[in-house]
Amino acid sequence: MNNSQIKLIVGLGNVGSDYEGTRHNLGFYCLDRLAGAFRATWQDKPRFKALVTEQRMHDQKVILAKPTTFYNLSGEAVNALATFYKIPTADILVIHDELDLPFGKIRTRIAGSDAGNNGIKNITSHLGSAFARIRIGIDNDQTVYRDAADFVLDYFLPQEQQVLPRIAEHVLQFTDEFVSEDKDFLHTSVQVL
């Protein structure tokens, strides 16, 4: 198998039980749903600073990774995996929460700015910006009077928690399109209610 057939899919979040269910762990949540579809188990890979599982999708090797570096240093893990497996930036997909989008809005894109997201900013500092992204909106009416750092580390509201499985379903569909190199992946937007 040549290395161009390997795709890297990264979910952003923070490790540890204190962060489970928080808005900033939405990338982890979606990646756990994807791993669950494969009945996969995560393996701690300290050399990559990530929890990793390898699967096959569309006859391609796909590496799923959850950085253990904490959110704002995610680029260290992504860079370590991309370097070791010689994965081009174009074959990397990052799934993350997005404060600049309303809750339930999901957008896909290739490249673009970090929109103030420190995890994306750190990945860009290591690899450039030409990787694919699934951006999942978390903004709600609380952000007007709450500090952004506190907001992203807080838990979803009960009514938001009920929507998360449907959000994950869309994310898994977009992930499938990315791996299969389906052009529908590019610049897609959907609002999940």
Q: Which residues are catalytic?
A: 24
| Strands across the sheet containing 7-11 | 43-45, 50-57, 60-67, 7-11, 92-102, 132-139, 105-110, 189-191
Beta-carbon count within 10 A of 152 CB = 21
Would you give the end-to-end CA distance of the chain in angstroms?
A: 41
SS3 string, 29-63, reads HHHHHHHHHCCCCCEEEHHHCEEEEEEEECCEEEE
